[in-house]
Amino acid sequence: MDVEHHSHRGRHHRSASGLTVVAHFFGILSTILMLVWLLHYREGLDLDSDDARRVFNVHPFLMFFGFIFMAGEAMMAYKTVRAEWQVRKFVHLFFHLVAIVLGIVGLHAAFKYHDQVGLTDMYSLHSWIGMGTFTLYCAQWLLGIAVFLPRSSSESKARIAPWHVNGGRALLFMAVATALTGLMQKATSMRLQHQNEGRLINFLGISILLFGIAVDVSVALARYA
C-alpha cells in the first residue's frame, strides 16, 4: 500500500512539475507579446514621459509581468519545487512581495495617465475588479505573514492553509479576468493601427488565460506531491 501511495505521489509530482514548464512557456510568451504590442504598436513605455500613452503602457506591462506572472511564480515555487520548506517559503514570500511592489507601480501608472488626460478614476468594470483583486491580494499576503511565519500552532496553520491556497488560486483567476477585461476595454476604446494589432491582442489574452490555467492546475496537482 505504501509503495502504491508513493507511486501515486510521484506521478502527481511529475505532472505538477511538467505543467510548470507549460506555465512558464505561456508566461514568457505573454510577456513577449505584451512587449511587441506596447513597443511596436503603442509608442513604448516610460513612466516619466510627457506622452500620456507611454505612461499608460507601463500599466499593462507591470500588471502582467510584475503582478500576475510573479504571483504565478510564487505559487509554483512553493507548491511544485523540490526544496527545503524554509527555502520554498522564503521564495514564495519574496515573489509575492515583488508582485505587490511592481503592482503598486503599475497602478500608479494608470492613475497618472488618468490625471494627464483628464479621465475619471475607477469608472470601469476592469478597474473595479482590478482594485478589488489587488486589495485582497495584499490582505492575503499579510495574512500569510501573520499565520505562517510566526511559531503558531500546527493545528492553526493546518486549518488556515486550505483557505490560503485556494484563496490564492481564486485571486490568480481574478487577476487574469482583470487583465482580459483591460485588454478588451483598451482594444474597443482605441483606434487600432492595423488588423494585426487586434490579432496580437487576442493572442495575448489567450496566452495570459492559458498561463493562469497552467499555474492553477500545477498547484492543484501538487497537493498530492
Residue 194, pLDDT score:
76
Residues 6+ apart with CB under 8 A from 163: none
Task: Give dist(CA 89, CA 77) in Å, integer.
Answer: 8
pLDDT in tens, 146-163: 888 766 667 778 888 889
pTM metric for this prediction: 0.90
Residue 2, pLDDT score:
43
pLDDT in tens, 66-100: 999 999 999 999 988 888 888 998 999 999 999 99
The CATH code of domain 2-222 reads: 1.20.120.1770
Look up cell 497537493; give the residue: 223
